[in-house]
Amino acid sequence: MTLLLAAGLLAHVGLRLWLNARQVRHVAMHRAVVPQAYAQTMALADHQKAADYTLAKARLAQWDILLDAVLLLGWTLLGGLQALNQWLLEWLQPGLLQQIALIVAFMLVGGVIGLPLSLLQTFGVEQRFGFNKMTPVLWLSDLFKGLLVGAVLGLPLLALVLWLMQTGGSLWWLWVWGALVVWQLFLMAIAPNVIMPLFNKFSPLEDDALKARVQALMQRAGFQAKGFFVMDGSRRSAHSNAFFTGFGASKRVVFFDTLLKQLSPAEMEAVLAHELGHFKHKHIVKMMVVSFATTLAGLALLGWLAQQVWFYTGLGVLPNMNGSNDGLALVLFMLVVPVFSFFLVPLSSWRSRVQEFEADAYAASQTPAADLAAALLKLYQDNASTLTPDPLFVKFYYSHPPASERLARMQAAGAAGGTA
Ligand SMILES: [Zn+2]
């Protein structure tokens, strides 16, 4: 296991750093001139701001990659997790409580070590480019609210999972899977009404002209939503977005207030049509099915690994021979899986980009393609998304196709379908 981890980690870190360096080189190389296709629509200053913003984020990512690797080594081969476990065993009896304490302590330590980078991200990079609207007070209150919500929702789940691991027999992972699926559905059901209002204000959409447009579009598309809400995203960031949340009776459409300021009503309608496209093609359901299947595969793997002594010793931990090691197994699994699952990222990015194209095509069938094209260009510009990303970086990471590809398809759709 030690060798596997070392090889995996080396490949993981090497690949991430290499992709990052490629992105930096590509963006820097194209910084001087606006690409031909946008010469009419994008100012040089905006193009260069997007380049600088991308470069600043990439530089921060470099540190993030290295910190991740150091943390992983610190927890495993350098004995961090072993020490934490032994220390907790001096205070607590072996059992459920000690294992919960182990996992919570592990997460808190990781959170604290990650804080400086997160602060740099918000109050350094985002601030410098004018995107951050958060005050330190709001940042702190978010942090505490997040911890509280995490504790209230996460601790009972954690206790349940550990209990099932302990008592569920050799097929415990199947029970845990069932519990996680139910939990996930429960969270999705309560998110719009219970969790999200803790962090943001949602007010009904008041612009009647826009509401009428949006309603007409929804009717055409055969979609029922409980309501249209505007979220005060501008409290935290100048970035903008629109999304659907909830399902069943709590389904609703949410627009960021920042989006309303940036887009014309026709463009808003096009963005909503794109979101409806995701709904029409059942992307959310498909995503959930994939996620549940992956979780099941992961848990089955954990069910096997947790019984192998080398899984612990190879990762710098001595398993407890006459007690339960479920807490240790969970932590080790959380540490090691991302190293290897990273190599599957291009697959999920690719699937996501295909779905974005599908949603774009649907939008172009419901609203003039030119409206969505205009909206996208504005969004790329206002969010300072670079128009010249490295092609390989895109293939690996991008969940949304780069602007050039989306706009090219829209132009083709507009030309083929005319206006309807
Ligand atoms: Zn989309």
Q: What is the pLDDT of residues 311-324, one digit of tens each?
A: 999 999 999 877 78
Say how far apart CA 243 and CA 275 lie, in whole Å.
7
132 three-state secondary structure: strand
pLDDT tens per residue, range 355-381: 999 999 999 999 999 999 999 999 888
User: For residue 308, how far is its CA from the centre of ligand 1 (angstroms)?
Assistant: 42
User: For residue 218, how far is its CA from the centre of ligand 1 (angstroms)?
Assistant: 17
Greatest distance between any 2 Cα atoms in the chain? 74
Say how far apart CA 118 and CA 124 lie, in whole Å.
9
pLDDT at 320: 83
pLDDT at 249: 63
Residue 339 has pLDDT above 60, yes or no: yes
User: For residue 271, how far is its CA from the centre of ligand 1 (angstroms)?
Assistant: 9
Q: How many CB atoms lie within 10 A of CB 264?
A: 13
pLDDT tens per residue, range 28-63: 999 999 998 888 888 999 999 999 999 999 999 999
User: For residue 58, how far is its CA from the centre of ligand 1 (angstroms)?
Assistant: 24
Question: Dihedrals φ, ψ of 389, to 5°?
Answer: -75, 160
23, 389 Cβ separation under 8 angstroms: yes
pLDDT tens per residue, range 104-157: 999 999 999 999 999 999 999 999 999 999 999 999 999 999 999 999 999 999
User: For residue 284, how far is its CA from the centre of ligand 1 (angstroms)?
Assistant: 11
User: For residue 403, how far is its CA from the centre of ligand 1 (angstroms)?
Assistant: 13
- pLDDT band, residue 414 (cuts 50/70/90): low
pLDDT at 193: 84
pLDDT at 415: 62
The single residue listed with the structure tokens 């990471």 is 397
Question: Between these two residues, 346 and 206, which has the higher pLDDT value?
Answer: 346
Residue 331 has pLDDT above 80, yes or no: yes
Say how far apart CA 114 and CA 110 lie, in whole Å.
6
pLDDT at 226: 66
Say how far apart CA 377 and CA 369 lie, in whole Å.
12
User: For residue 356, how far is its CA from the centre of ligand 1 (angstroms)?
Assistant: 5
Amino acid in the structure at residue 282: K
67, 117 Cβ separation under 8 angstroms: yes
Question: Between these two residues, 416 and 354, which has the higher pLDDT value?
Answer: 354
User: For residue 62, how far is its CA from the centre of ligand 1 (angstroms)?
Assistant: 28
Say how far apart CA 201 and CA 5 lie, in whole Å.
45
User: For residue 359, how far is its CA from the centre of ligand 1 (angstroms)?
Assistant: 6
pLDDT at 221: 82
Catalytic residue among 267, 275, 356, 358: 275
Residue 296 has pLDDT above 80, yes or no: yes
Q: How many CB atoms lie within 10 A of CB 321?
A: 7
From residue 282, alpha-carbon distances to 4, 39, 349, 351, 354 in Å are: 38, 37, 17, 13, 13
pLDDT at 420: 39
pLDDT at 396: 97
User: For residue 273, how far is its CA from the centre of ligand 1 (angstroms)?
Assistant: 10
Say how far apart CA 228 and CA 204 lie, in whole Å.
6
DSSP string, 195-239: IHHHH--EEE---HHHHHHHHHHHHHHT---SEEEEE-GGGTBS-
pLDDT at 404: 87
pLDDT at 416: 57
User: For residue 278, how far is its CA from the centre of ligand 1 (angstroms)?
Assistant: 7
User: For residue 149, how far is its CA from the centre of ligand 1 (angstroms)?
Assistant: 28
* Most confident segment among 17-21, 239-243, 399-403: 17-21
From residue 315, alpha-carbon distances to 24, 72, 82, 310, 312 in Å are: 34, 10, 9, 8, 5
- Residues 6 or more apart whose Cβ sits within 8 Å of residue 75: 81, 106, 316, 331, 335
Residue 418 has pLDDT above 60, yes or no: no
pLDDT at 252: 79
Residue 90 designated active-site = no
Average pLDDT, the chain: 91
> Worst-scoring range by mean pLDDT, 2-16, 109-123, 217-231?
217-231
pLDDT at 330: 97
